[in-house]
Structure 1
């Protein structure tokens, strides 16, 4: 029987155990040349322990094992568990994960043990999309709109906006500005600045498998051009989902939300070339097509290439990174410039911001290159996904 935790399948090889014993979360501070110092950070009740195996061949088994291990150590909290035995469905915090190959000499079969702490169910928790609209300084030169669009799965019901700062029991029923069709499902867009509530929190109920489908993704291509490996018996995903900000990429970095896909190929010692490729999803044709960016030589006098991607945040509603560009040829050869970028759920544009500590304007050719995909609003939505207890917003 196969269940799913967030987006990762977890085939169960043994009967899960429900534990009432108190589990202690430990941290080892390694001291060179001495025994490790072990200290208790917190005590958590491990409500559910799941064990199982990935036996899908070396490539896909290792891919899923790595994803599960990263998800357990990530900042993504209170993830849904669904499928498998229905009486265990709900939201859980992953307290620990042990993931390792079964055989020391092979990596075709991996075994996992997950310790989970219950965070509630759909009857005790609402999904909560928190916002904190602000206008960063120095901002960006790509437009002067002042909306702050945020995405909620169109499959959601009981969508309400509550005031997070003064009276959370007072609710407003918001009206979506637009419904967007992504590759993975429809998303309703709401303007967080159009309500009579400051810093609104959008609360709603949604099936546990409907939201992960439309969440933002980060992938490691692992050196493969195609997202899937096709065969006569079907297909499996070749790109690894990334949940850890310190993930060491073996392929290109991909940001994707079902509408827009940014692929950044960083330079290496073996291959000094770098690139930024963008694709957009066409719902009518159900296909992806390349977005033409101004290029050097020709439109641009300087060849700006992305040379480093620093992941800042990987969440359910948005991913953020600081990308450093280098002028590798042309008029401004040798110059470097960094930009903060953000891709949010349901958005067909990328938020691009000048870092707060930078006072120089974006170089003209770099601005021209990014302009076709840059969001025009000067407002950062500050969006963050979480849960809120129903009793906290009960009328």
Structure 2
């Protein structure tokens, strides 16, 4: 059975430990969930667990690096940690604090480890995903555009609501998609922001844990590989979650959203 912390997969065989820890993690995580939205707390308490992961194999170091970047990111306030294509009672939203230097169990020989204290912040029953909307009058770019500002919500989302908490009484509407586009990992409903409440509304919705992050834009480190998978069909690239991530000289930075992949290049010095 495989679990995911946001978009980083953690096979059950790589889990060195996943136990309750009596101590509380030091929590100082602020920001937006992967740049796509944030988990909005409605109610609930918190439980702390210790997570130790040992990766093995040819890409162990980059897998561990990816997980460390997620766990230590200041831009990820809370993230889903849940089973893939299954369900367990422990599936929920968690915050994390990286504690690589304090392994709860001895590291296995030949393994690359990543460890963290993860604290349960709530579940889909207590939290919804929130996408804050702030439109701009300056929509021009060198490639041309119209004046329509759209946001994307996963088509698999349910209970979609647009809420203006600044209004009195609070204004709530049910947005209607103007278009649905099919991306590599799922469909996305496009909503015209002109149909939302004025000001800076928040679009709230619910989404299964396993589906969260599938259609979010992402950044990859190619590690010098031309294709995302190697000759054996194994993913050779690494997802990037750290703005300070250092790319090797032969690596490329690739931006993708399931529809497009854009490779960044250095400006021509000549």
State the TM bucket, normalised to the shorter chain. 0.7 to 0.9
d(CA) in 1 for partners of 2:193, 2:146: 13
Report the RMSD for the aligned CA atoms in angstroms.
Answer: 2.6
Matched-pair contact (CA < 8 Å) for 2:21–2:50: yes
TM-score, structure 1 length as denominator? 0.56
Count of residues in Structure 1 that have an aligned counterpart in Structure 2? 243
Question: Which whole-Å deviations, capped at 9, do the CAs of 1:222-244 have from their partners, x for residues lacking one?
Answer: 1110100132xxx2211110000
d(CA) in 2 for partners of 1:169, 1:212: 29
5 Å-filtered alignment, 1:328-339, equals 328=270
- Please state whether the residue corresponding to 1:193 is helix, strand or coil: helix
Partner residue in 2 for 1:147:
148
- Please state whether the residue corresponding to 1:86 is helix, strand or coil: coil
- Please state whether the residue corresponding to 1:17 is helix, strand or coil: strand
- Please state whether the residue corresponding to 1:150 is helix, strand or coil: strand
Structure 2 CA distance for partners of 1:65 and 1:140, relative to 1, 3 Å: same
Q: Of Structure 1 and Structure 2, which has the larger fraction of its residues in strand?
A: 1
- Please state whether the residue corresponding to 2:214 is helix, strand or coil: helix
Partner residue in 1 for 2:129:
127
Structure 2 CA distance for partners of 1:17 and 1:144, relative to 1, 3 Å: closer
TM-score, structure 2 length as denominator? 0.81
5 Å-filtered alignment, 1:212-227, equals 212-227=213-228
- Please state whether the residue corresponding to 2:69 is helix, strand or coil: helix
Partner residue in 2 for 1:340:
none
Q: CA deviation at 1:93?
A: 1.1
Structure 2 CA distance for partners of 1:5 and 1:16, relative to 1, 3 Å: same
Partner residue in 2 for 1:263:
263
- Please state whether the residue corresponding to 1:67 is helix, strand or coil: helix
Question: Which whole-Å deviations, capped at 9, do the CAs of 1:128-179 have from their partners, x for residues lacking one?
Answer: 1111111249x53543522211111000011111114325843101110100
Q: Deviating runs (4+, > 6 A) in structure 1?
A: none
Partner residue in 2 for 1:242:
240
Q: CA deviation at 1:248?
A: 0.7
d(CA) in 2 for partners of 1:124, 1:46: 15
Partner residue in 2 for 1:345:
none
5 Å-filtered alignment, 1:182-261, equals 182-231=183-232, 235-250=233-248, 251-261=251-261
Q: CA deviation at 1:20?
A: 4.4
- Please state whether the residue corresponding to 1:77 is helix, strand or coil: coil
d(CA) in 1 for partners of 2:255, 2:263: 7
Question: Which whole-Å deviations, capped at 9, do the CAs of 1:168-211 have from their partners, x for residues lacking one?
Answer: 84310111010000011100011112324322211111111112
5 Å-filtered alignment, 1:39-78, equals 47-55=48-56, 57=57, 59-74=58-73, 75-78=75-78
Matched-pair contact (CA < 8 Å) for 1:69–1:97: no
Partner residue in 2 for 1:300:
none
Matched-pair contact (CA < 8 Å) for 2:26–2:97: no
Structure 2 CA distance for partners of 1:144 and 1:230, relative to 1, 3 Å: closer
Matched-pair contact (CA < 8 Å) for 1:72–1:97: no
Structure 2 CA distance for partners of 1:195 and 1:68, relative to 1, 3 Å: same
Structure 2 CA distance for partners of 1:119 and 1:171, relative to 1, 3 Å: same
- Please state whether the residue corresponding to 2:205 is helix, strand or coil: strand
